[in-house]
Chain A
Amino acid sequence: EIVLTQSPGTLSLSPGERATLSCRASQSVSSSKLFWHQQKPGQAPRLLIYAASSRATGIPDRFSGSGSGTDFTLTISRLEPEDFAMYYCHQYGSFPLTFGQGTKVEIK
């Protein structure tokens, strides 16, 4: 099983700042098959990034994903008020599919 470890657990930032979220895998993720999802309280998750670096339909270009192998990063270039939420990485390269434990981006 591929264990995904996200860091930091909580990121306290101000609107307009840059957010850098890390997702580290216990073994290589096949073909960079990694998603990033955003979830706000009381809502369903929302797909942000697929294949490690491709933005899903309708996702603003301030969100970008990068990485390969075991190290992946989600960057939010300038935080908007609506970006304060929980973020999960999720590998779909091998079974069982697994999720990271999440990074909470909160307002400082």
Chain B
Amino acid sequence: EVQLVESGGGLVQPGGSLRLSCAASGFTFSDQWMIWVRQVPGKGLEWVASVNPDGSGKYYVDSVKGRFTISRDNGKNSLYLQMDSLRAEDTAVYYCAGAKGWGQGTLVTVSS
């Protein structure tokens, strides 16, 4: 069974940092592109970042470029999102996802 389990969300002040993690199981993680998607409660889905299977290719939505960094550790079957210089508009539920499915999401709240 495919499982994607996010962790690391929480409340952070504007300008702060947070690191999200996603633990994958039930599929060959190292074969898959992985992405982070966010959703403001009650709104639609927004792609945030993607990483290719070996981690050498990384892509970001313009609004997070220079602030967020996606990475992966194929030895640990894990995906990460380092979020720096956080803004109120980054408040959302963050999901890790791939062609095998979605995680349950972790809430990030940026507020003073």
User: A and B from one assembly?
Assistant: yes
Residues of A within 8 A of B (CB): 37, 39, 44-47, 50, 56-57, 88, 90, 92, 95-102
How many residues of B are in contact with the other chain, CB < 8 A?
21
Residues of chain B lying within 8 A (CB to CB) of residue A100: 44
Q: Is B62 part of the contact surface with A, judged by Cβ < 8 Å?
A: yes
Q: Mark B22-49, 1 if CB is under 8 A from A, else 0.
A: 0000000000010101000000111100
- CB pair B44 A101 closer than 8 Å: yes
B104 contacts A by Cβ under 8 Å: yes
Beta-carbon contact of B102 and A46 below 8 Å? yes
Other than the known A92-B33, A95-B59, what 14 A-B pairs have Cβ atoms closer than 8 Å? Answer: A39-B45, A44-B102, A44-B105, A45-B95, A47-B101, A57-B100, A96-B59, A97-B47, A99-B37, A99-B44, A99-B45, A99-B46, A100-B44, A101-B44
Tell me if A97 and B97 are in contact (CB < 8 A). Answer: no
A-contacting residues of B (Cβ < 8 Å)?
2, 33, 35, 37, 44-47, 50, 59, 61-62, 95, 97, 99-105
A44 to B41, alpha carbons, bound, how many Å?
11
